[in-house]
A and B are shown apart, each in its own frame.
Chain A
């Protein structure tokens, strides 16, 4: 099942959003996030956007102060995942208009809803921005 987790972490190492597609308890998540973030923060811009960690491969991308980290298993196309991150950001951009860390913080549930539309069971299921956003827009209208 391709994607194992999606994390958004700021450069202080605080987790801003976490979505796991396999169950890890709180303690396991904490250690995993700590280790991975430390690894990714230590890397330079020129280095690969991929890091091996235990049995995960972590694909990460930095947008200003926010890191997007996606844990995948071995058979995943790393570069495609890197672009998937960008697609997610573009989608959020379209919704929030020039998205920033605080947008995600204040609309955590919406960020999650988008992710829910895009990834199910650890697979990328939807990549059309309009399809991803339409249920969220409809919901906004209704309430």
Chain B
């Protein structure tokens, strides 16, 4: 059949195809298509068009859509064509409909009937065409309309029909598993169909089913193994052969299924070893398809219960892939390697240079695959090199999708394996700097939380050292233009919390920096909110410490500006800052004690601490409180309840109209975070949110938020007021910060251990030596943490094999080094020197080990100083710090009060003031501070109210 002028096509059609093909530009192509659309609109509606002409027009419609133009005007003609008696026309009609419409299109309903009719046809080709359409057009609701017929067709005498019926059923399963759950057995039955095509088709649904529920299909292991064996032995018809491979696509599907069934199942795996091994030896590695099957075998082997012989064969195959010149094979080799190292990590050692080559290849695909491999083989000994590489790459690419992915991987690895605080902070800084707007906001929150909680378990000095180094690096970075918002938020928060903590920087310096940030990002309310809260913290620490506070003029003007802000959130923060500045040291210290972000907040919703006050007031002749519901002519302002019950009344202002604050905030995240995601008109009161978390569910809490305040009042006056609040919440609920915090993945705990231990091992190696060998050594060399590597003199190749041998040590053990510090050297310590001497070999010379045992600290420190040159030697400062900061920390502890000081302090005061209506603000505040542990009244959403009160 010649290409030109295939039968039935008009010259017009040929010309169209040609002119589109010859179009010089997209604009020209578009012009042609638009003209074509006009022609088709006229022609299709012409009643005198012949059927075959019609078919051509419908195909021309297909072109119109393929080229990106809307052809919906002609859909109905395609639908009509499915009714045609002529098979060719009918199938073209079905084809066009499946290409035009998705299963939820309105026109589908017109086709279901035709499909039903065609499924009953005597002509099996018609049935096949209808089954094809079933797979594309039937949605969940129309499944019942065709299901009985499809099931019947599973037993059709024509194998082509059985095959398509299996796939139609598969489709129903994909769409709505429930609708065919009783028919699953048919798939099993079709597995033993006489026709290999039907059997091959049945593998598709079975693969899906096994993926979801392996255990129900273990009985089929024997069958699958048998089938695979027969396929490999060329029992299938010759027509399935492809490039001398017997039915390779079926083999691959079967290997995928076996991998699922044999995963973590020794017994099942043992049944598969022989056949998989046979196939691996039979594969011609000269053809692509042979390699494809081979690759699938490796995937299968790495999923099965380990078998040394097969693993050996897989490793051989991998090295063949990696040594190949073809990038495709290298790619597969890298991928296979990343699968295999889970079982036998030593395999990677042999291929270090090949991996480095792939990593440095200009081909992006290969590079990314290699990063994936590195990601999987990261451990504490090579994390620095790997993450640095990743970040370098991340900085260079523009593809935001991948940038996001690699950034979150960097963060994950850094959190998991960070060898030191400085490194961790630096890494996070880089990630934030270059991809801050792409990473999940959670990452920023996690960083702040980490900073607040610290990594070390009992080691306060490490925490404070971490914080100081963070502060230092942030002060350095924050001047740079175009920092992502999320990063600046972290910076502001950390500066607020810890900016002045170590006494290195003066308050005026830090506040100046904060004002600069707020000024430079005057359009970003979130950053401004963070900045002003940070300012508030710094000033209150100053006040509390009894120092005289000189407020910078720019800060004053900033506050001035925020007082008039449109954002109520900013306004509230500004008022809070103002209020705090007016208080004395004693009060401020109670409101915002130093370093207590992680302290628990205890909340007494009953406000029992006010009982005495109320009692006194009553005795003095004050009016008792009447719940609003019982009041006659309740005032509009406080009439929340009635507004919630009735439709919004016409004559009142709607006070409840604002969206309520989200109650589900992690409690120990500072208040600003709340508003960082959404700037709601209502000032965010995280304290409210926190308290509300005690309510059974978030939605519950929301709905009762406004009432809750009144609930606090309820018992005070001893009257049943509002029934809406669950009684359980009125008991002393502790918002347990610590609990929430520990929700962080279990890795967290081990992390901290790793970090804890790695404080000792402070040597950093940032630069990657140019030589590949060195890179390889740093990537692969450190097989396990517990290795002793003091011998920096030895050259690497000699000891490589030894390293390979020891690399079996499980990672878990590696990442949990003993925390003993004095008598016994932590293995970590020895490890530390390894990255610094990238060129040096991982070796296990017993003498060297002994050496290491004897003089660990001196040795390492001297090495640090000598060997690393450029990098700081944090060892000294670390130990020096320890004693110092322990002192200061305990001091801080002694003054710190159990209280919430995430900047909520201000809010709470005002709340209290409001509810008190007390004449003496300071007195009230102090009283508040004393009983803070027991009671906080969340209320007061209107800053103006406070303004009046506070003057």
Query: Chain B residue with minimal CB distance to A54?
Result: B401
Q: Which of B59-84 contact A (CB under 8 A)?
A: 59, 62-63, 65-70
B818 within 8 A of A: no
Interface string of A61-94 (1 = CB under 8 A from B): 0000000000000010111101110110000000
Query: Taking the nearest CB of chain B, how far is it from the CB of A61, in angstroms?
Result: 10
The residues of B that contact A139 with a CB separation of less than 8 Å are 87-88, 91, 125
Q: Kindly identify which residue among B5, B70, B103, B125 contacts A135, using a CB–CB cutoff of 8 Å.
A: B125
Beta-carbon contact of A79 and B125 below 8 Å: no
Contact B242 A26, beta carbon cutoff 8 Å: no
Provide a sorted-by-A list of 22 A–B residue pairs whose CB atoms are within 8 angstroms: A10-B21, A15-B66, A26-B69, A43-B363, A47-B366, A50-B331, A77-B295, A83-B243, A83-B289, A86-B288, A107-B6, A108-B59, A109-B91, A109-B92, A113-B91, A120-B135, A126-B197, A126-B200, A127-B250, A128-B197, A129-B239, A131-B160
A-side contacts of B330, CB under 8 Å: 48
A100 contacts B91, C-beta separation under 8 Å: no
A133 nearest CB across to chain B (Å): 10
Instruction: State A76–B248 Cα separation when bound (angstroms).
Output: 14
How many angstroms between the C-alpha atoms of A48 and B102 in the bound complex? 33
> Which residues from 114 to 128 on chain A have a C-beta closer than 8 Å to any C-beta of chain B?
116, 120-121, 123-128
Contacts A80-B292, A120-B135, A127-B242 aside, 9 further interface pairs with beta carbons under 8 A come to A18-B66, A47-B327, A48-B365, A48-B366, A82-B288, A82-B292, A109-B62, A135-B160, A140-B88
Contacts of A97 in B (CB 8 A): 1
Residues of A within 8 A of B (CB): 1, 10, 12, 14-19, 23, 26, 29-30, 33, 43, 46-52, 54-55, 75, 77-80, 82-84, 86-87, 95-97, 100-103, 105-109, 112-113, 116, 120-121, 123-131, 134-135, 138-140, 142-143
* Contact across chains for B17 and A125 when beta carbons are under 8 A apart: no
Task: Report Cα–Cα, A14/B160, bound state, in Å.
Answer: 34
- CB distance A125 to B95 under 8 Å? no
Q: With A106-B3, A127-B240 as given contacts, are A121 and B167 in contact (CB-CB < 8 Å)?
A: yes
Q: With the chains together, A105 CA to B59 CA distance in Å?
A: 10
In the complex, chain B residues 1-43 whose Cβ is within 8 Å of any chain A Cβ: 1, 3-6, 9, 13-14, 17, 20-21, 23, 29
| B-side contacts of A116, CB under 8 Å | 95, 132
Interface residues of B in 284-300 (CB under 8 A from A): 288-289, 291-293, 295-296, 299
Closest 10 CB pairs of A and B: A79-B292, A123-B204, A23-B102, A128-B239, A80-B292, A120-B167, A48-B365, A47-B363, A30-B68, A48-B327
Q: Does B201 contact A (CB under 8 A)?
A: yes
Q: Contacts A50-B365, A106-B14, A120-B167; is A77 near B66 (CB within 8 Å)? A: no
Given known pairs A26-B70, A77-B295, A109-B92, the reply for A87 and B3 (CB within 8 Å) is no
B252, B299, B368 — which one has the most chain A CB atoms within 10 A of its CB?
B252
Contact A103 B160 (CB under 8 A): no
Contact across chains for A128 and B328 when beta carbons are under 8 A apart: no
A15-B240 Cα distance, complex, nearest whole Å = 30
Q: In the assembled complex, which residues on chain B have CB atoms less than 8 Å from the CB atom of A125?
A: 163, 167, 197, 200-201, 204
Point out the residue from A77, A78, A120 that lies within 8 Å of B132, measured CB to CB. A120
Check if B510 is an interface residue, CB within 8 A of chain A.
no
Residues in B whose Cβ lies below 8 Å from that of A84: 249
Contact of B292 with A83 in the complex, beta carbons under 8 Å: yes
Using Cβ atoms and an 8 Å threshold, which residues of chain B touch A140? Answer: 88
Mark out the residues of chain B between 457 and 472 whose CB falls within 8 Å of any chain A CB in the assembled complex. Answer: none
Contact B6 A1 (CB under 8 A): no
Q: Is B393 an interface residue when CB atoms closer than 8 A count as contact?
A: no
Chain B's interface: helix, strand, loop or mixed, by majority? helix
Q: How far is the CA of A125 from the CA of B17 in the complex (A)?
A: 31
Residues of B within 8 A of A106 (CB): 3-6, 9, 13-14, 17
On whether A83 and B248 interact (CB within 8 A), knowing A54-B401, A108-B63, the answer reads: yes
With contacts A52-B368, A77-B252, A131-B239 taken as known, whether A14 is within 8 angstroms of B331 at the C-beta atoms is no
Q: Which residues of chain B are near A129, meaning CB under 8 Å? A: 239
Task: Give the size range of B's interface with the partner.
Answer: 35 or more
Please determine whether A49 and B239 come into contact, CB atoms closer than 8 angstroms.
no
Cα distance A54–B404 when bound, in Å?
11
- Bound Cα distance A91, B68 (Å): 28
- Give complex CA distance A18, B17 in Å: 16
Write the nearest CB–CB distance from B259 to chain A, whole angstroms. Answer: 10
- Chain B residues, Cβ within 8 Å of A15: 66-68
Cβ-defined contact, A96 with B1, below 8 A: yes
B17 in contact with A102 (CB, 8 Å) = yes
Nearest CB of chain A from residue B400's CB, rounded to whole Å: 10
- Which residues from chain B contact A102 at a C-beta distance below 8 Å? 3-4, 17, 21
B856 interface residue per 8 A CB criterion: no
When C-beta atoms are compared, the residue in chain B nearest to A100 turns out to be: B3
- Residues in A with CB closer than 8 Å to B91 are 109, 113, 139
Q: Are B250 and A17 in touch, CB under 8 angstroms? A: no
Is B506 close to A, CB under 8 A? no
Closest Cβ of chain A to B406, distance in Å, is 12
Neighbouring B residues of A29 by C-beta, 8 Å? 68
Q: Does B99 contact A (CB under 8 A)?
A: yes
In the assembled complex, which residues on chain A have CB atoms less than 8 Å from the CB atom of B615? none
Distance in angstroms from B94 CB to nearest chain A CB is: 9
| Bound CA–CA A84/B250 (angstroms) | 12
> Within the complex, what minimum Cβ distance (angstroms) separates A116 from chain B?
5
The residues of A that contact B401 with a CB separation of less than 8 Å are 54-55
How far, in Å, is A83 (CB) from chain B's closest CB?
A: 5
* Residues in A whose Cβ lies below 8 Å from that of B174: 1, 121
- A47 and B369 CA atoms in complex are apart in Å by 13
Q: Tell me whether B66 and A16 are in contact (CB under 8 A).
A: yes
B87 touches A143 (CB 8 A): yes
Q: Does B86 touch A at the CB level, under 8 Å?
A: yes
Query: Chain B contacts of A54 at CB under 8 A?
Result: 401
Known contacts: A17-B66, A48-B327, A78-B331. The answer to whether A121 contacts B366 by CB under 8 A is no
- Inside 8 A of B99's CB, which chain A residues have their CB? 18-19, 112
Residues of A within 8 A of B785 (CB): none
Using Cβ atoms and an 8 Å threshold, which residues of chain A touch B67?
Answer: 14-15
| Residues of B253-294 contacting chain A, CB below 8 A | 253, 256, 288-289, 291-293
Q: Indicate if B144 sits at the interface (CB-CB under 8 A).
A: no
Q: Is the CB of B125 within 8 A of A138?
A: yes
| B312 close to A (CB within 8 Å) | no
B332 touches A (CB below 8 Å): yes
Cβ-based interface call for B538 (8 A): no
**A127: nearest residue on chain B (CB-CB)?**
B249
B125 touches A108 (CB 8 A): no
Is B537 located at the chain interface by the 8 A CB criterion? no
CB-CB under 8 A from B243, the residues of chain A are: 83
A14 with B20: CB separation less than 8 A? yes
How many whole Å from A74's CB to the nearest CB in chain B?
A: 10
Instruction: Indicate the member of A30, A48, A123 with the most B CB atoms within 10 Å.
Output: A48
Chain A residues positioned under 8 Å from B163 (CB to CB): 125-126
A52 to B366, CA, bound (A): 10
